[in-house]
Structures are given as structure tokens and as C-alpha cells.
Chain A
Amino acid sequence: MSLRTARVLAAGYHLAMLYFVTWPGILPFAKAEPLVLGLPFTMAWIAVWIAGSVIVLALLDRVEKKHRIDGGGDA
């Protein structure tokens, strides 16, 4: 994957997260039930986005590191 694509995807993920954890994106998910793993739905919804952030940033880091080693100076 190119560096640019990886960066756009990572930034896009966090913008989507911002949209889906605040008004109005959160509205369809703003409810207590059904419980997910015992937690209220909204709480689990936010926790899933946080866990996703770790994965997305870790993947981005792999691409960034590959490009730094392959020679291309840091942008």
C-alpha cells in the first residue's frame, strides 16, 4: 500500500470515529440495550472504535516504517 493511501485511510478512520461518537452520527447507536458483553450498547460502541484505533494506527505504522527503510526520506 502506498504511504499516501495509508495516511488517508488512517485519517479517514479517525474522522469517521469523530462523526460516529458525537451528534448526529451517534444517534442510531445511542441506546442502552441490547447489552454487548454485558455493557450498555453506546459504551460498547465507543470501546469498539477505540480498539479499532489501535489496530488502524498499528497498520499505518507498518506502512510508514517500510517507506522510511525503503528509502524514501520522511515526509
Chain B
Amino acid sequence: MEQWIVVTIIITLYLGLTLTIGLLAGRKQSDSVAGYVAADRSFGLLVMYFVTGASVFSAFAFLGGPGWAYSRGAAAFYILAYGALGMAPFYWVGPRVAALGRRHGFVTQAQLITGRFPSRNLSGLIALLSLIAFVPYVTLQMRGAGIVIEAVTDGNVPIWLGSAVAYGIVIAYVLSAGAMAVGWTNTFQGIFMVVIAWSLGLYLPNALYGGIGEMFTQIVAERPDLLDPPGLTATGEAWSWGAYSSFILVSAVGLMMWPHLFMKAFTAKDDDTLRRTVILFPTFQLFLIPVFLIGFSGVLFAGSPPSSDFILPFMILETELPALVVGLFCAGALSASMSTGDALLHASASVVVEDGVQQFVDLDEHTQRRLMQGLVLLTGATAYIFAQDPDSSLVLLLASAYGIIAQFAPPVLAALYWRRATTRGVIAGLIAGAATAFFFWQNPEYKPFDIHEGIVGLLVHIPVLIIVSLATEPQTEEHLDAFFE
């Protein structure tokens, strides 16, 4: 049997299993908004751990991570550094958010913020900014899935078909079962990804160079510039420390502000589960090490992939691994793409309906749930169209997505910890921060010290929030007590 047929069979089995798990998971869930969006707040430690880990590790980590290690060397280490930093504050923030969620019935981030700072416009603004950051992110996940399938089937399954089948399945289980399906499929996909990454990451350096240390010794000897921190830019020049450090900072601040991750705080069964997820999360981060090793193993390899993002499928195919391994790898990469894509689709629909539409039109629970399901389809279809026609501006938009998302951190922290903050202060800060980030993204030549536009945005955002809050009338004690107590 030809290799691509074996590979296709394995992928089909894998996708069938994912669909089954996704559909079965939703059967125990209540037919309410809290059920669809927050899985009736029922997730235990195992599911929470993998939901969080697998949603963070997307096609970007699985394909982009090795791509960076391969083409930009030490620059990739920034991806390793920020996760633990971004997650640690949630040991305290997470349970606080969860407690407020239980008390007031919040299921989204904007509901938490506007529970403290009542404003329909603020809610709509958060929904809009979330959606702007979400669509390109989903698009890249879909394209990632399509690229992997096309590469390992020798082009017999083209991108349009591969991404349509993979995401048809994602949409099917997100539509029918919501958060519960996302949780259980991510657990399955997370385990799969970790096993595949470690086995290939340890196998390739050994098979090609006779060991990990041996591989790096050879890279240092032949490409010393690559491993010299902070690594290289996309065009092969030395990267700046300002960019390297601010990428870590903006990613750490933005990490848990992504609505699809923040909302996980509302899905946990209890505070202990949430805290343990935070404690264990850095162990998921270490899984980037084998992923980078795969990328590094391509550096001194004869021949090169069409673009650095293809380094992983390229290495798998060039080293003539058995078809079974290629198929399993492909399923691992699909896991990475789909486990983030499903969370993104689910969160974007929940956010747009709950925080956008529902604020201006009154809908009953049943209609809300139907509307969310419609939006999952619409967002999926929009991203699918973009995924077929790779528009370079979308990739640029994704790079700036973290700059937008990081702007959610000050409103969230102000809502939770600063009693003197006011609604006007928060709106003014958010607009000023997002506008600044947008300006420096459009005009990178003005960025001071090559610092990421999201950080420059925060440097404007925070003072505006504080000054406008202090200049406006404080919130009443009754309102504050009702929110906190």
C-alpha cells in the first residue's frame, strides 16, 4: 500500500475518534447558556490541565515553534520563557474571578469587567476587539491543519479539502456540545500532542546527529550566529534585546487575557482545581523543548523546506520514517491546530452573543444558544475563506493580536483590585491603549528601542486609566459592596 494511503487511514481514524469523544461529551450537559459556555462549571483537574495546555499550544507552537528554532535560532527561546510568567498570577486571580463568576453568574470576561463597570458600549468594545483578534487566529489554525494534511499525503488531499474536513468535525462537536466537547477532546488531543512531540524530539537528533549535545555542538561550530541570544530576525540579521524582552512581556501579560483562556476560570469545578492547573501549567511549557529540538535538527540537514513553517512535516518526510509514524505525527499536529481552533470558535461565538448582541437586544436563553451556534458557523466559514487565500496582512494582524489582547489586562485587574477605578477611566484607558498599539503596529519605525507595540500601548493605557479614574466621580460604596460581597 502506498504511504499516503496509510497516512490518510490513520488521520481518518484519528478524526473519527475525536468526533466521537466530542459528541459523547456533550450528552451530560444542561441545555442552558452556562452549560454551553461554561460546561456547568464542572471541569476537574485532568480536563482543566489539558484544556488549558492544549488551547495554549496551537498550530503556532507545533509548526511555528520549530520554524522559529530552525530559521531564527535562539529567538525561539522567548516562546519558552513567557508561559510560566503569564500563568503564575492566576494562582490568585483565577479563584477570585471564579468566585465572582459563581456569585453573579458571569460566563465571559466582558461580563466580569462590565459587572464592575456597567456600560453596554464597554461590553461591545471588548466583544469587537476580541473578534478582531480571533478571526486571523482561527484562520491560521485552519491553514496549519490544511498544510500538514497536504504535505503528508503528497498533495493527494489538498489544503481546501484537508482544512474543510478537519474543521467540519470541529464545528460539528462545538455546535452540538459546546464547552464540554472542547474540554474532553482537548484532553485527548493534549495527551496525543505531548507523546508525539517528545518521541520525535528525542528521536530526530539521535538518528541524524547521534545525540542532542552532539547536534548542538555541530550547530555551534557551523552556525554560531544562530544560537547566540537573542537570535535572528526573519531576514537573518541579529534580533534586538528590546524586541526579545518585550515579546516575552507582552505575551506574558496577554496570555491569560485571551478570552478563550480567561473563560476557563469559569469552567473549573472548584478553586483547588484552578490553583492546581496553574501550578502544573509550566510542565506543559517544557513540552516546547522537544518541539524546538525538531526544528534545530533541520538546521544542518541537507535540503530545505519551502518555508520555515514547513520544517516539521519536511523533516518527518525527508527522514523516511514509517508511514505509521508519519500518520501519528500528522494527527498530533492536527490536535494542536484543532484543540486551539475549537476553543477559539467556541469563545468568539460566546463573546459576540453575550457581550455584543445581548447587550443591545434582549434574547431568551434558547435563542442565545441558537445564535451562538450560528456564529460558530459564520466565524468558521469566514476564517475558512481567508485560509484558502493566504493574505499576508492576516499574518501581520495576528502578530498584533497580542498587542490588542494585552490591553484587556488593566481593565480586568482594575475590576478585581482597584476600588477607585471608574467606568470612564477604564473605557478611556482601553481606547487609548488599543489606539496606541494600532498606531505603532502601522508605523513600526517609530517604536522606541524596537519594543512590541502592545507594551507601548500599555505604557499609555495604564496612566490614562489612573488619571481619568481619579478625575471622575468614584463608584458608590453600595455598588462596590454588591460587586465584591
Contacts and interface: CB of A to CB of B under 8 A. Distances in A.
Contacts of B88: 10, 14, 53, 57
Nearest to B89: A14
A60 to B, nearest CB: 7
Interface residues of B, number: 43
Given A18-B85, A33-B220, A43 B245 contact: no
Contact of A50 (B84, B217, B224): B84
B289 A35 contact: no
B399 interface: no
Contacts of B317: none
A64 to B, nearest CB: 8
Given A47-B286, A50-B286, A54-B283, A32 B227 contact: yes
Contacts of A46: 77, 80-81
Contact of A47 (B74, B80, B241): B80
B161 interface: no
A49 to B, nearest CB: 7
A44 to B, nearest CB: 9
A43 B196 CA distance: 21
Contacts of A42: 74, 77, 229
Among B80, B84, B272, B285, the most chain A Cβ lie within 10 Å of the Cβ of B84
Contact of B279 (A22, A26, A32, A61): A61
Interface stretch (B34-42, B119-127, B138-146, B208-216): B208-216
A20 B213 CA distance: 24
Nearest to A60: B91
Main secondary structure on chain B at its contact with chain A? helix
Contacts of A61: 91, 275-276, 279
Contact of A39 (B84, B212, B276): B212
Given A21-B248, A22-B245, A23-B245, A51 B91 contact: no
Interface string B262-289: 0000000000100110111011011001
A38 B77 contact: no
Contacts of B85: 14, 17-18, 21
A62 B84 CA distance: 19
Interface in A12-44: 14, 17-18, 21-24, 26, 30-33, 35, 37-40, 42-43
A24 B242 CA distance: 10
A72 B288 CA distance: 40
A9 interface: no
Among A21, A33, A60, the most chain B Cβ lie within 10 Å of the Cβ of A21
B228 interface: yes
Interface of B: 74, 77, 80-81, 83-85, 88-89, 91, 95, 211-217, 220, 224, 227-230, 241-242, 244-245, 248-249, 252, 272, 275-276, 278-280, 282-283, 285-286, 289, 292
28 contacts: A10-B88, A14-B84, A14-B85, A18-B249, A18-B252, A22-B244, A22-B248, A30-B230, A32-B220, A33-B220, A35-B217, A39-B212, A39-B216, A39-B289, A40-B74, A42-B77, A43-B77, A46-B80, A46-B81, A50-B285, A53-B88, A54-B279, A54-B280, A57-B88, A57-B91, A57-B278, A57-B282, A74-B95
Given A22-B245, A43-B77, 13 more contacts: A17-B84, A23-B245, A31-B229, A42-B77, A43-B292, A50-B84, A51-B282, A51-B286, A54-B282, A54-B283, A57-B279, A60-B91, A65-B272
